[in-house]
Structure 1
Amino acid sequence: MNVHDRDLILSTLFGTSILYLTLSALSSNKLFPLLLVVFIAGNMIPRLRSFESLIGKLRSSTNSGINAAIIPTTSKPNSVFRQLPYQKREEIISAIKSLQLYATNNMKSADRRRRLFKMMSWRQQNLCKQAGYLEKLDIMDVLLKKNQLFLNEVVESSINAYEISFSDFDIIKNFVDSSSYRVIESLTHFNRDWNMDQSHDEFELGPVIKFIETQLSQVIPNADKPNTCIVVPGSGLGRIPYELARKGYGQVHSVEFSGLMYLFNQFVYSNKESSLANLEVYPYVHTNSNFESIADQSRSILIPQLQQPTNLSMHLEDFNTFELPDPGQCKNVVIVTAFFIDTAENLMDYLDSINSLVKPFRNSYWINIGPLKYGSAPKVELNMDELAHLRTALGWTDLTTINTLKQPISEGENGLYSYATDKHSLWQGYYGLTGWCSKK
């Protein structure tokens, strides 16, 4: 028993004992003090952290929606999962657990909204209710549960693909995910990567892919495509590698560090047989800020089911430790970094890793497009001029350089490009980008 629960129980026992003895002495109705004590004790139990933990586990089990019959109790020694390195196994299981806990965690936030709402006066609550606020919260609850249905599909697909058993979950016995922030972030990337409806200018990656393909066409002739290897680190949900693989390059390697992003990307190629409703996500139901209407907040994205190109290989890997499986098969290599280099804890490690990867090749190219929005604790934060100096110092020669604020990717654009931005929101996030194509 934890300290919080022990103190709460002792204080309740002491308080109710005093109350019972006092009321028994003052009241002629001997049943009333007993009923009051039982009522107080009953209200104390839900406040125990051990009780909350138990309810959370039960909800997780209920909401996961995973048919226990599909998961063997113990894994096969030679299962796909058991053949993976420990860190990859841990990342995959952590991702699966986060997916299972999504609805539980977000319904806690929904319950908190309702508790805060009830703190207003009756008149204030009634006015907001007439405006449709409670109806909106009910709609959000429904859509959160629909998101969980989709996540259950991803979990089931992943468990089957890796031959995961219940015993494999022991690798993360102390796993905690109380917010589902990483799952929510990954869901928003479906609109960035896999929104196939380009009629309303929703496809954020369009200009980025155009820049990459334009630079590739200038350095890799069509005849050399089969002899060219492309590496895309920080590939997210994988749209850029997918589009490049369709262009006929010999090898395209998608490298992603996040288990959640990786499993979502795999699911796009799972050819899951499911109802369309289960392959639909609602990425904007996690906040009530900056919306014009419920219709904007409840928009959905239909997840495509595609054939994985045969020349596309996917890697759950830290780019700094990634090695090409067979670099001798191609004579050209192109490293494509899109919205990636500013994610580094140590940008110099990324640069060293790029230089190491290109060593075996006759012709090496590096195409970059993205902002310079460094994280909270980077070891170095370089501006565009400093990066240009470093490229020269490391042996790269720039063939093309752009600052989209001065030279947009396409004529008529304003040079600002969004990243996981809801274009129907009152808040918009846009970046000017730095881009280059360099040869070594």
Structure 2
Amino acid sequence: MASEHQHPQTEEENSWGGDFDPFADPEERRVLFAAFDSFRQYRRNAHKNTTHRRRQAFYALPSEHWQMLSEPPFSILDNFNKVDDAIDANAEIADRILELGLKSFGLPQNPDKSRPTQNWHDVATSSDLNKAHSTIRQFYRDWSSEGRAEREVCYDPVLQDLHDEFKVRRDHGEEIRVLVPGAGLGRLVFEICMAGYDAEGNEISYHQLLASSWILNHTDGPAQHALHPFALHFSNLRSRTQQLQQVMIPDVHPGFAMQEAANTGRRLGTMSMSAADFTILYTQPDNHEAFDAVTTVFFIDTAPNLIRYIETIRHSLKPNGLWINVGPLLWHFDDGHSRTPSDTGHEGAGIGEPGNVELSEEEVLCLVERMGFRLEKRGDRRACGYIQDPDSMLLNMYQPSHWVMRKMTEA
């Protein structure tokens, strides 16, 4: 798939313009419809798998036991009700993403089930539903003030590296183009734009694309939407207050922030997002040496074959351009995190190409240098979580690799 839409928009019409038609390919249509349906089912699925089954298990306890735990200070049944309220708040976000997406693609809320090109109901798999859940939670990381701690570890080094290399040229009016593969919910794209660089995000996941379009273009203002990122978590809690924590999103409204910056004369870049397989779109001739920098944050480990990513980045970078990377190596295609080609909608091509390999950090750096780059910088390791509750009794922490490579010119 290949589409591009600009951010932020001034109208709510179709933001998926160009010659992109997901309905022309049955497999592409299936993936899109599954994303829609997973947001539609968010509310029902979360209630069923979170509180409904726990109530059943609770009432299966001996009567005197569940009655004792129903009373203060435990009030387990009351807590189930509060979790249900939190799920409903999260589902409001899912519903807004769905409503916008259907409108953008011209689909009805209640499709005619006799028409395959329209029937998007009841097509989501459990994997699709999990993606919807994780996408909603990801707003905590990218678009809440509470998620700032995670962002500063991952995004601030990228912005500093861009400033170190390009600030003088930017300040003299030169347009600096930055590509952000795996752009997710668009926060890094937004921050790069606010820093005065022309940012182009790229994302293949419809879940992420639909959610980023909503948060970047269609929220009414800052702190307008309540999110309970940890409501569905019942383990390793210090208190119920922690489980029911509410954050407000977005912490910064993109449209308001850009308008305010423009009013003060601050230099802003442009911002756009492409919906495509990274290795297919950015090896096209019109993207040859088109970007001054490529920034990969928690991205390179999504590659089944990292060589394809390196080839694509080298193709898209200008001579002497920078590749800035921050992230771990949780290879998404190893035995514990495998995906089939059909999950991508690009079987046999791009990210759906057969084969995969998992490399160490030392091997990654060696491979990148062998393929035409020079190591410019190794940054400090700073531990961070990923959508991590900082008060949890179990903390899963990454120590992301941070490095900067420069594309070598041909000898």
Structure 1 residue 294 corresponds to structure 2 residue 240: yes
Structure 1 residue 369 corresponds to structure 2 residue 318: no
One-letter amino acid of the counterpart of residue 158, structure 2: I
Verify the 8 A CA contact 1:81 1:163 in the aligned structure 2.
no
Instruction: Provide closer, same or farther for how the CA distance between residues 356 and 271 of structure 1 changes in structure 2, counting only shifts above 3 A.
Output: same
Alignment match, 1:190: 139
Alignment match, 1:267: 214
Verify the 8 A CA contact 2:90 2:136 in the aligned structure 1.
no
Question: In the TM superposition, what is the alpha-carbon distance from 1:384 to its structure 2 partner?
Answer: 2.0
Q: How does 1:35-184 map to 2 (within 5 A)?
A: 83-85=20-22, 86=25, 89-109=29-49, 110-130=51-71, 131-165=74-108, 166=111, 170=118, 172=120, 175-178=123-126, 180-184=129-133
Q: How does 1:225-374 map to 2 (within 5 A)?
A: 226-249=174-197, 251-273=198-220, 279-304=225-250, 305-307=253-255, 311-323=270-282, 327=287, 332-358=291-317, 361-374=318-331
- Residues 201-245 of structure 1: CA deviation (Å, up to 9, x unaligned): x53111222211221122224324743211111111111111001
Question: In the TM superposition, what is the alpha-carbon distance from 1:83 to its structure 2 partner?
Answer: 4.5
Structure 1 residue 384 corresponds to structure 2 residue 361: yes
Alignment match, 1:208: 154
One-letter amino acid of the counterpart of residue 365, structure 1: L
Match of 1:419 among 386, 398, 407: 386
TM-score, length basis structure 2: 0.76
Verify the 8 A CA contact 1:195 1:203 in the aligned structure 2.
no
Q: Distance in 1 between matches of 2:19 and 2:243?
A: 41
Alignment match, 1:16: none
Question: In the TM superposition, what is the alpha-carbon distance from 1:274 to its structure 2 partner?
Answer: 9.0
Q: Distance in 1 between matches of 2:307 and 2:286?
A: 25
One-letter amino acid of the counterpart of residue 113, structure 1: R
Question: In the TM superposition, what is the alpha-carbon distance from 1:383 to its structure 2 partner?
Answer: 1.5
Q: Distance in 2 between matches of 1:300 and 1:145?
A: 13
Alignment match, 1:222: 168
Instruction: Provide closer, same or farther for how the CA distance between residues 168 and 254 of structure 1 changes in structure 2, counting only shifts above 3 A.
Output: farther
Structure 1 residue 398 corresponds to structure 2 residue 375: yes
Question: In the TM superposition, what is the alpha-carbon distance from 1:290 to its structure 2 partner?
Answer: 1.4
Structure with the greater alpha carbon radius of gyration: 1
Alignment match, 1:62: none
Instruction: Provide closer, same or farther for how the CA distance between residues 144 and 274 of structure 1 changes in structure 2, counting only shifts above 3 A.
Output: farther
Instruction: Provide closer, same or farther for how the CA distance between residues 145 and 334 of structure 1 changes in structure 2, counting only shifts above 3 A.
Output: same
Instruction: Provide closer, same or farther for how the CA distance between residues 83 and 392 of structure 1 changes in structure 2, counting only shifts above 3 A.
Output: closer
Alignment match, 2:343: none
Instruction: Provide closer, same or farther for how the CA distance between residues 276 and 418 of structure 1 changes in structure 2, counting only shifts above 3 A.
Output: closer
Q: Distance in 2 between matches of 1:310 and 1:237?
A: 18
3-state secondary structure, aligned to 1:368 = strand
Question: In the TM superposition, what is the alpha-carbon distance from 1:399 to its structure 2 partner?
Answer: 0.8
Question: In the TM superposition, what is the alpha-carbon distance from 1:416 to its structure 2 partner?
Answer: 1.4
Question: In the TM superposition, what is the alpha-carbon distance from 1:380 to its structure 2 partner?
Answer: 1.7
Question: In the TM superposition, what is the alpha-carbon distance from 1:282 to its structure 2 partner?
Answer: 1.3
More deviation, 262-271/372-381: 372-381
What is the CA RMSD across the aligned residues, in angstroms?
2.8
Question: In the TM superposition, what is the alpha-carbon distance from 1:388 to its structure 2 partner?
Answer: 1.9
Question: In the TM superposition, what is the alpha-carbon distance from 1:420 to its structure 2 partner?
Answer: 1.4
Q: Distance in 2 between matches of 1:264 and 1:343?
A: 20
Instruction: Provide closer, same or farther for how the CA distance between residues 176 and 384 of structure 1 changes in structure 2, counting only shifts above 3 A.
Output: closer
Alignment match, 2:345: none
- Unaligned runs of at least 5 residues, structure 2: 1-13, 259-267, 339-355
One-letter amino acid of the counterpart of residue 190, structure 1: F
Q: Distance in 1 between matches of 2:204 and 2:87?
A: 26
Q: Distance in 1 between matches of 2:125 and 2:95?
A: 17
Question: In the TM superposition, what is the alpha-carbon distance from 1:306 to its structure 2 partner?
Answer: 2.3
More deviation, 158-167/237-246: 158-167
- Residues 312-364 of structure 1: CA deviation (Å, up to 9, x unaligned): 11122221222379548x87521101111112222222122212222xx2332
Greater RCO, 1 or 2 (C-alpha within 8 Å, sep 6+): 2
- Unaligned runs of at least 5 residues, structure 1: 1-75, 405-414
Aligned residues: 345
Identity of aligned residues (%): 23
Verify the 8 A CA contact 1:418 1:430 in the aligned structure 2.
yes
TM-score, length basis structure 1: 0.71
One-letter amino acid of the counterpart of residue 301, structure 1: V
Q: Distance in 2 between matches of 1:287 and 1:205?
A: 22
Q: Distance in 2 between matches of 1:208 and 1:119?
A: 45
Structure 1 residue 432 corresponds to structure 2 residue 377: no
